[in-house]
Amino acid sequence: MPTALITGASRGLGLELARQYAADGWNVIATARNPADSAELQELDKQYPSLNVHALDVSDFAAIDRLARELKRRPIDILLNNAGVFGPKAKAENDPRQEFGHMDYDMWAGLFRVNAMAPMKMAEALIDNISASAQKKIVTITSSVGSITRAEGRTIAYRTSKSAANMLMRNLSFDLKSRGVITAAFCPGWVRTRMGGDGATLLAPQAMASLRRVIADLTPESSGQFWLYNGELIAW
């Protein structure tokens, strides 16, 4: 069976992706910052022998190198860069630190590290594992709010970090083409998770089932695109 490595599998979309791939019989390398804090991930670990949990804070690049060494040359069919942070919320939390006039630059750098730089580091560290697999896919969960075409102001740190992640996936489609690697950036839709909030219009099981179908259909010809979870293309 193929193997998926998922970051941020402690909760939300990453947990749902881990559950669905494991239920389909895939080998799953489910990584989380603090696996012991996620009862649901522990439960999946018990339920599915093909799912292995690894501790990984994606902002710790030395830890990414350590994980790569641990995995040796184990093939990884899909690297799913899902871990992400939104940063301070002006409306919901009355915290304006990513709005004009109030920018917290250390916070912004932290968001960039997790949302945009970590996917590059994961790809660099695991390229031999990905190249050794049958499917050779790198997928990063970004967001439609990172679309420059659709920009409408506010939440500058989150938006710019997701635009950078989109740019990364587009460029990697060229840099890794000769190795047969397919890349994709995905907006998962507005999904009910801690980040998405209670007002979100989609539920994780349905949205992630749809997103997985689109991932399954990715081809070398469609590499380097920006997708919505349902298979529509999003303007950069």
Ligand X SMILES: NC(=O)c1ccc[n+]([C@@H]2O[C@H](COP(=O)([O-])OP(=O)(O)OC[C@H]3O[C@@H](n4cnc5c(N)ncnc54)[C@H](OP(=O)(O)O)[C@@H]3O)[C@@H](O)[C@H]2O)c1
Measured CA to CA, the distance from residue 145 to residue 158 in angstroms comes to 8
Provide the mask over 118-157, with x wherever binding to ligand X is found by CB under 6 A and - wherever it is not. Answer: -----------------------x-x--------------
Question: Counting every residue, how long is the chain?
Answer: 236
Only one of the segments 6-14, 46-54, 168-176, 221-229 lies at the binding site for ligand X (rule: CB under 6 A); that segment is 6-14
**Nearer residue to ligand X within complex by CB, 26 or 190:** 190
As separate numbers, helices (DSSP H) first and strands (DSSP E) second, the chain gives 7, 7
Q: Minimum distance between the CB of residue 180 and ligand X, rounded to whole angstroms?
A: 26
13 binds ligand X (CB under 6 A): yes
**Nearer residue to ligand X within complex by CB, 130 or 195:** 195
| Amino acid identity at 89 | K
85 binds ligand X (CB under 6 A): yes
Measured CA to CA, the distance from residue 230 to residue 15 in angstroms comes to 19
Report residue 149 as tokens.
């075409």
CB atoms within 10 A of CB 38: 20
201 binds ligand X (CB under 6 A): no
Nearest Cα to Cα of residue 141 among 165, 114, 108: 165
Number of residues interacting with ligand X: please give it, by CB under 6 A.
29
Footprint of ligand X on 164-193 (CB under 6 A):
187-188, 190-191, 193
**Nearer residue to ligand X within complex by CB, 129 or 155:** 155
Measured CA to CA, the distance from residue 165 to residue 172 in angstroms comes to 10
5 binds ligand X (CB under 6 A): no
Report residue 79 as tokens.
């690297």
Q: Side-chain half-sphere of 100: how many Cα atoms within 13 Å?
A: 2
Where on the chain is the footprint of ligand X (CB under 6 A)? 7-8, 10-14, 32-34, 57-59, 82-85, 114, 141, 143, 187-188, 190-191, 193-196, 200
